[in-house]
Amino acid sequence: MIDILLPPEVAAVSVLGDLSPTDGHGLFPAEAEAIARSVEGRRAEFTTVRMCARRAMDKLGLPPAPLVPGKRGAIDWPDGVTGSMTHCLGFRAAAVARTGVAVSLGIDAERNLPLPDGILDVVSLPRERAALTALARRRPDVHWDRLLFSAKESVFKTWYPLTRRELDFTEAELDFDPEAGTFSARLLVPGPEVAGQRHGTFSGRWTVSRGFALTAIALPG
């Protein structure tokens, strides 16, 4: 499902629910160690999303590799590769690209449900909140507060591998196009510099399907 939001050169795999390790490669020892003290449900989602990532890598002709979470959950992908993973209740996905295609990826999945009380004020700016009412009139099937949260998660996942710095929810201002299924994120702090080019804006795509709100950003290489 999330592959429709990404360029064709980006390999993406998504599944509903969890896979069994017998459906493909399980965990590398370093991955198993990273999740050893977690509860069964967390181990299942951790394993499944890595199986998705390895299937995506295989689509690009890349060998399987350990994907161990570091600070803020960021993965040290193999040289020449970038990727992003996401999971929420009932959904797991991974996207992988060669860095010549995308220097960074950010994907996120959320249930298409309202945010819990009090969260919207924390993750949004006043102008963004004002825009949600008009967006809801045009697309009442979308829980725009949740989609905004998801898109900001995708922004952070794109930002962090390039900067290794935190980005607050209020340090990016988002605009959505409800018809085109796109969004733009204007960074309110200096954007990452890649190959001499400063990126002050990230462009992404979104969709709502089968009860999920999905967002994705592919920063071109």
Measured N-to-C along each axis, helices 144-163 and 126-138 cross at an angle, to the nearest 10 degrees, of 130
Round to whole Å and give the CA distance between 55 and 61.
10
What pLDDT is attached to residue 24? Answer: 47
Mean pLDDT of 95-113: 97
Of 85, 104, 123, the residue at which a domain comes to its end is 104
Question: Is residue 14 located within the same domain as residue 93?
Answer: yes
Question: Is residue 7 located within the same domain as residue 70?
Answer: yes
How confident is the model over 24-41, as pLDDT tens digits? 457 999 999 999 899 988
What pLDDT is attached to residue 195? Answer: 82
How confident is the model over 158-171, as pLDDT tens digits? 999 999 999 999 99
What pLDDT is attached to residue 23? Answer: 52
Q: What percent of the chain has pLDDT over 90?
A: 86
Q: Which domain holds residue 32?
A: 2-104
How confident is the model over 107-134, as pLDDT tens digits? 999 999 999 999 999 999 999 999 999 9
Number of structural domains found in the chain: 2
Question: Is residue 26 located within the same domain as residue 89?
Answer: yes
Question: Is residue 81 located within the same domain as residue 9?
Answer: yes
Question: What is the average pLDDT value for the chain, to the nearest integer?
Answer: 94
Of 48, 74, 104, the residue at which a domain comes to its end is 104
Round to whole Å and give the CA distance between 124 and 129.
7
What pLDDT is attached to residue 21? Answer: 64
What pLDDT is attached to residue 25? Answer: 57
Lowest-pLDDT range of 73-82, 147-156, 204-213:
73-82
Question: Is residue 94 located within the same domain as residue 117?
Answer: no
3 state DSSP class of 10: coil
What pLDDT is attached to residue 9? Answer: 97
Q: What percent of the chain has pLDDT over 70?
A: 98
- Provide φ and ψ at 78, rounded to 5°: -55, 155
User: The whole model's pTM is what?
Assistant: 0.95
How confident is the model over 62-74, as pLDDT tens digits? 999 999 998 878 8
Round to whole Å and give the CA distance between 179 and 55.
32
